[in-house]
Copies of this chain bind each other. A is one copy, B any other.
Amino acid sequence: MTQARLKLGMVGGGNGAFIGAVHRMAARLDDCYTLVAGALSSDPDRATQSATSLGLDPARSYTDFQHMATAEAAREDGIDVVAIVTPNHLHAPVATAFLNAGIHVICDKPLSVSLDEALALQTLSRQQNRLFALTHTYSGYPMVRHARQLVASGALGDIRVVQVEYAQDWLSEPLELTDNKQALWRADPSRAGPAGCLGDIGTHAYHLAAYVSGMTPASLSAEAHTFVAGRKLDDHVQAMLRYANGARGMLWASQVAAGEENALRLRIYGTRAGIAFDQQNPNFLEYTPLGGATQQLTRGRVESEEARHATRVPPGHPEGYLEAFAQLYLDAALQINAMNNSQPVPKVSQLLTTVDDGVAGMRFIAAVLASSQANGQWTEI
């Protein structure tokens, strides 16, 4: 920590929530933030309880995010940035409130529940000149960033094929009929929006492919499907992709793939080489030049400023999901500090995912839903 710690607020993430705790660990790891305020729950008791257990000043524990935005903006020592870790339907209203209050935003994905909301947030964050970071966690892995750099450097030649998938099995059964909080809101259109598996993990797959390949598809043919009887949103998505440069691709996301924990896998094939990444073994990146042997790249075996910037421990000491998440918080801190000091944003921090990635994700969701409703018709993104 060579810069001032940023004052962080949080909306959502009260006791019992999953992703809120992850954001807090990520924010702590590199010592760039101090959590000082929160609207941790809309339930007043739970908000208070959560704030207490986190050691917050009771005066800065809010139950209303709008109130929090106004109050914090008015304080001399008000928060620099808010982390939004609510269910999807609240992302846009909360972000809007804080952007309007001149406060930087770090928001979980998907960005919103509609493309219109997403576009409005994009516009607003630019008008307000505030950072809008979106936590596409997997983009924080050193080997993902190195993969992106490999593609950008031309090491793969012209990209021909993109294969991406994200398979889980935790919704193989109707878990939303139990009291599983994570399943409950994700299967509820009023909180998750119109996309189930598609929004929850399909967007991650889509983003990872775009982030590394440097390309988004021009059009797709897709089917969103629901396997579990009575489920209100999709739990399985498959799509074929066409890119402007002639490349082809496939995307698959499923939450009913029995035996898979969190299998986000990306393969990209070019005219000169292919690469493969598996989120469950994130310390490795396979790289195979055409005609050559497959190389198992690690942080320790590549010269890569991008990977080094995203690295905390020496090669052979594995890093994981929390470190990737922390990387987004670190990059956000670097950018916010620069913006707060009217300095140019450091180049290494610019791999941070933002509202722009969120808009792209919402375009993807819209296109999949449209194509699926038209029985797989090729649809522009």
Contacts and interface: CB of A to CB of B under 8 A. Distances in A.
Interface in A200-251: 221, 223, 225, 227, 236, 238, 240, 246, 248, 250
A314 B55 contact: no
Given A168-B316, A283-B280, A273 B258 contact: yes
Contact of A271 (B172, B254, B378): B172
Interface in A270-325: 270-276, 279-283, 286-298, 300-302, 312-323
Contacts of A22: 312-313
Contacts of A157: 258
B318 A318 contact: yes
A376 to B, nearest CB: 5
A172 B290 contact: yes
B318 A376 contact: no
Interface centre among A267, A292, A293, A296 (most CB of B within 10 A): A293
Nearest to A290: B258
Contacts of A258: 156-157, 160, 269-274, 288-290
A238 B227 contact: no
Contacts of A274: 169, 257-260
Interface string A146-190: 000000000011001101010011001000000000000000000
A101 interface: no
Interface in A14-69: 18, 21-22, 24-25, 28-31, 53-55
Nearest to A318: B320
Contact of A29 (B25, B293, B314, B315): B25
A254 B269 CA distance: 10
A225 B248 contact: yes
A31 to B, nearest CB: 6
Given A53-B2, A227-B160, A288-B258, A321 B313 contact: yes
Contacts of A279: 316, 318
Nearest to A297: B293
Given A259-B273, A288-B258, A318-B280, A376 B295 contact: no
A183 to B, nearest CB: 12
B281 A314 contact: no
A22 B313 CA distance: 7
A83 interface: no
A37 B25 CA distance: 22
Given A25-B29, A313-B322, 4 more contacts: A161-B257, A256-B269, A261-B300, A293-B298
